[in-house]
Structure formats: C-alpha cells, structure tokens
Structure 1
C-alpha cells in the first residue's frame, strides 16, 4: 500500500502536506451547541449553528498559509469540543476544509470519564476497540469520514479511572490492528508513565504514540523519563497560559452562587525553555507542537490566542523559543516532518 495521510476529504500523499498543527478542535471556536453540550430547538436553529461553527473555523484558519501551515489535526473526542456523541458532526470538518483550503485530519477517541457519552460506558473493551477500528477503516459514526489518527484518548488528574483505562486499552488495541498513530490526553501532564505502562501491556507501537499536554508538566526530568520509553510527547497547549479546570460538567440546573474550579498558569517562556532543553538533549524527533485552542478559553488569554489565534505558535512562540536557543533549522521538523510521519499510513 502506498503511503498516505487520511484527511476528512480523502487520502493524500505525504508530500502534499506541509506544516501541521497536530492537536486542535475546529468545532469548538464558538460557545455553541457542540461546545456547551446542549442542542438548539428546531431545524432552522441547527442549520444556523452549524454555519456559525463553519464560518468561525474558516476565518480562524485564514492566517495559517502565511506561516506554511496547511494541515490541522482535529482531535475532538466523542461528545466534547466540537464533536457530537454520534460523531456525525465530523461532516462539518469536511465543509471547513473545502472552504478554507486547509487539510483536516480527524481523530477518534473518548474523553475523561465524567464527560464520556453513556454509550461508551456500556461498551466492553472489545466492543469499543471494534468501534475505533471502524472509525479508521470505514468512517466515524454514519458519515463515512475516516479517522486518520486515534486521539486525544484521555486520563484524569492524578488518576486513571476504570472507564478511562478501558478506553485507553481499546484505543491501543485499535492502533495495533490498524497501524494508525495514537495521541493521548494527560490532565496537566499527570499519569504519563502510567499511560505508557498500559500501552505497553497492549503491545502498542510506542514509536507511533504521542503523550499529550506534556508542556504543562514543568519537571524536565519527568519529560525525559517519558521520552526515554520511545513515545513522542506534545507541547500542544502553547498560548494557553491561563486556564480553568472544571472537574466535571456542571449540572443542568446548578445551584446559585459559587462553584468549585481550579485555575492554572503556565508561561510560554517556561514551555520554550523546556522545548529548547529537550532538543539540545537529542529528542527533537519525538516532539510535536500545537495550541489546543478553543473559544471557551480565548478570553483567558487575550495576548496570545485572543490576539493571534492559530497564528500565535508560528508568529510569536517559535521566535521566543529561537531567542531562548532553539535551532531555527528544527522548525520544519517540529511542525512538518514529525507530525507528517505520525499521520502517514502505509509504506513508501
């Protein structure tokens, strides 16, 4: 089989793909029904909401060509950040790709337990594996749009629940069966080594695994230990310096007044310094970059995502990293060669 990258509009030769944002959520740029988890009433409202999602994404992608970025990977799990519970909203990604001219690769995964659709709780690990395999080989939901990668498969903050372990094992087994790459979600960089342990038990190809959100993990030695297992890691929340973490979805009728959440800060300067340190230690081929930008968090970061949108990584962060010592010759590897190899299926 000739090598290809599976996009939402069909397969492409890897040579047709340039620089890549490897972890984004194109359907979650506005706080509409797919982001909030609700649903509008009536067909007209549904059509309007879908058009709003499409137009906002097309506009947001418009700046990327100037930085040589022509491909975006949408790693939205079932039921959150732009993907509905059935997966059928992946059709919006096709229209976004057509209008923007940007190649889009869709992932397939299940998010944290409190946010997982009920049907994912009801499936056995074998049944969920079959679902993931079908998403890759036949199409997501009823769309016929094939996933080109598995992810972002999630585990919690300082824990992996039984449900999350089941889903991670299913994703690993689907990776073994299909050969596609697998990207995980760590919550604030925790449980990375535990994820690797589970993936090893399932005989996953660790060279085609990326452990996500490790730029939030401040300890460089921890990053090195994870990389030494053979997996890649992602610096994929670049620009998200401030963020809120709500432990589980709010009830439909929350109580009046204050509710608990956690607020975090992680500077891009610290991210840049860790990125430089890892490249200097020889890990450049295992690193992946993106922004994980969503409309719900742009307001918390007015000087990064709020001002620059998707262009922030290339326009601001990479020059910062170069100022901190990043070899400019590595930019094409970090944004091009690394994620391109991850997305490539088949053989040359």
Structure 2
C-alpha cells in the first residue's frame, strides 16, 4: 500500500548537487544512463567513460540535449564496483545544467567487488548496512548522497547466491531509506525472479524498475511485470547490435496498447565511449532524435510521450509520491 505524504511535505529527488523538487521538472528524463563508468576487465578500455578523458564530450552532449530537447534529469546508474565517481558526476551536472541522480548497490556477479565477499561473509545484513550508511552519509568523503539503488543486477533466469544477497540488501536498504530500486537484468532475462525476490523482502512493486526489458522479445513477461505495478525499462534504445529499434518499438507499442503506458521507462544506457557522438556513436540523444519521432509516427500522442519520458521516471524516483 502506498503511504500518502503529509500535505506539508513535498517529495524530493536527491541529485548530486542537492534535492530537486520534481514539480519543477518540465523536461524529459533519461531513466538509465552512465556518465562515468569503468567495466574494463580485459585491458581494452572499451567499456569505459573516463571522468577526465570523456567528461567533456559527455557534458557537451547533455548541454546540447538540454538546449535542444529540454533534457532536465539523468538517472546515472553506475554503482559500487563500476567505476563510480560522485565528484565527476557533480561537475558534469553543474557544467551541463542538467540534474543527475547517482546510484548505489552492486551490479551483477562478475563485477562484484571484494567487499561483497568480505562483508560479513556476504551476509545480507552487513551488505544492507553498507548501502544504508552510504545513502544517509554520502559516497566516500564527498557528502554526495545516492538518490536511487541501482543498477543492482543478475544475469540469467536464475540468480546466483551472491546476486540474491545483493538484491535482498538493496530491497532492505530501499525500505530503510525510502529510495527505489532499478535493476540490471542481463539481456532482459530474470526480471520476474528479481521482482519476486525484491517484493519478497517487502518492497512494493511501484518502487522497482526491472532493467533492459527491450532486449527481451517477450511481451507476456513485460505485461506481467507491468501488471504487478513494477516499471518496465526500455533502456538500451539505439543499441542495434543487441536488438533493433524496430523490435523495441513493437514491444513498447504493445505495452502501451495493453494499458501499461504508466509503467514504462525509456533511456539509451550509454556504457562505452564508442557510443558517444564525438566517436561516431548514437549518443544520449538517440531517444529524442530518432526513437521518439518513430513513436509519434506510430500514433502515440504527446501526453503519452510526456508520461513515458517525464512523469513515469519522477514517480519511480519518488516512490509514487509525485502526482502531476
């Protein structure tokens, strides 16, 4: 059950530069992105967005999207063990004048840092304490507090033991702090298992976003997730090597036609420097410049576009307390 806030309390989105009143957000939100990232495990430096080398290009793209499309907010889901840099996020946010939400939690098992194994033998309680402390006191010594748990992950239809523990810790930390949880479901698989585990800890579905569902060509699963009240994230838009945007469009239109437009989130998940516009990639703006025009051409009205790109992510971030 959703708990109503007292009339005098307005929900706030916690950004890297301070609290943001969601009622002041007039432009669209990118619901699942990376601005600073390091997933390099083989020395090729491909899955990297370096805070020094690539930050100028990232900042330039966000600035252009703010000026051209009104981009207002980016949900940045680089969490623990993924090369997160809170100070760099704050610089990018200030320089681009685009608000940024930072994440916390743990990615899927191959990227778990040693602390997952070391903290109380990966005890769920000890892992929860790590997350709650960071949410309440800030990332490292920065004082910058995360505004979402994510992207907390698993890979495959069955979660590993470590993934179950980190996801349970995320759910418990969410309940303790009021934040919502965004997941990484590798290639879209395992989303229902994630939902069952998170709700099993008592977290309401409307505070859960199941990630990468546009990589899973399974409308039945999407509708089941949405019907539960969880958000269904179509967040790799433009990554044609994984899935064509034509398939993404069909899946999203199916979800909208089934009456679940209020459960979908959209983004591009820029996770390699080759995806940046300066390096010939599709960039963060692919959603606005390419995919949304196709959605409009398919007959989706502007009110629904606003729902998908602004109101839904704000409701997710505020735990359902944002009611425009």
Quote how far apart the aligned CAs of 1:91 are.
1.1
Residue in structure 2 matched with residue 251 of structure 1 by the alignment: none
Q: Name the CA distance, whole Å, in 2 between partners of 1:53 and 1:128.
A: 32
Residue in structure 2 matched with residue 270 of structure 1 by the alignment: 247
SS in 2 for 1:2: coil
Quote how far apart the aligned CAs of 1:308 are.
4.0
Residue in structure 2 matched with residue 119 of structure 1 by the alignment: 115
Quote how far apart the aligned CAs of 1:344 are.
2.4
Greater shift in the superposed pair: 15-24 or 289-298 = 289-298
Residue in structure 1 matched with residue 13 of structure 2 by the alignment: 5
How big is the alpha-carbon RMSD for the aligned residues of Structure 1 and Structure 2?
A: 2.1
Q: Name the CA distance, whole Å, in 2 between partners of 1:240 and 1:176.
A: 33
SS in 1 for 2:75: strand
Residue in structure 2 matched with residue 67 of structure 1 by the alignment: 69
Match of 1:27 among 36, 39, 59: 36
Deviation per residue, 1:210-268 (Å, 9 max, x gap)? 100001110111211222222111000000111xxxxxxxxxxxxxxxxxxxxxx3110
Greater shift in the superposed pair: 320-329 or 175-184 = 320-329
SS in 1 for 2:285: helix
Q: Name the CA distance, whole Å, in 2 between partners of 1:50 and 1:227.
A: 36
Quote how far apart the aligned CAs of 1:293 are.
0.8
- Assess if the C-alpha contact under 8 Å between 2:188 and 2:211 holds in 1: yes
> Which residues of 2 match residues 1-348 of structure 1 at below 5 A?
1-17=9-25, 18-28=27-37, 34-36=38-40, 50-65=51-66, 66-80=68-82, 82-83=83-84, 89-123=85-119, 124-242=123-241, 265-296=242-273, 298=275, 306-344=280-318
Q: Name the CA distance, whole Å, in 2 between partners of 1:21 and 1:149.
A: 14
- Assess if the C-alpha contact under 8 Å between 1:213 and 1:234 holds in 2: yes
Quote how far apart the aligned CAs of 1:92 are.
0.7
SS in 2 for 1:51: coil
Deviation per residue, 1:126-156 (Å, 9 max, x gap)? 1111111122221122221100111111001
Q: Name the CA distance, whole Å, in 2 between partners of 1:115 and 1:35.
A: 8
Any stretches of 5+ residues in structure 1 without a counterpart? 29-33, 40-48, 84-88, 243-264
Superposition misfits of 4+ residues, deviation over 3 angstroms: 305-308, 345-348
- Assess if the C-alpha contact under 8 Å between 1:151 and 1:184 holds in 2: yes
- Assess if the C-alpha contact under 8 Å between 2:212 and 2:233 holds in 1: yes
SS in 1 for 2:36: helix
Q: What TM-score results when the alignment is normalised by the length of structure 2? A: 0.87
Aligned length: 302
Q: Name the CA distance, whole Å, in 1 between partners of 2:321 and 2:272.
A: 38
- Assess if the C-alpha contact under 8 Å between 2:274 and 2:281 holds in 1: no
- Assess if the C-alpha contact under 8 Å between 2:192 and 2:221 holds in 1: no
Seen in structure 2, the aligned counterparts of structure 1 residues 269 and 14 have a Cα distance that, compared at 3 Å, is: same
Q: Name the CA distance, whole Å, in 2 between partners of 1:53 and 1:125.
A: 36
Q: What TM-score results when the alignment is normalised by the length of structure 1? A: 0.81
Quote how far apart the aligned CAs of 1:90 are.
1.2
Q: Name the CA distance, whole Å, in 2 between partners of 1:23 and 1:330.
A: 19
Q: Name the CA distance, whole Å, in 2 between partners of 1:78 and 1:297.
A: 23
Seen in structure 2, the aligned counterparts of structure 1 residues 328 and 50 have a Cα distance that, compared at 3 Å, is: closer
Quote how far apart the aligned CAs of 1:5 are.
0.9
Q: Name the CA distance, whole Å, in 2 between partners of 1:321 and 1:346.
A: 25
Residue in structure 2 matched with residue 248 of structure 1 by the alignment: none
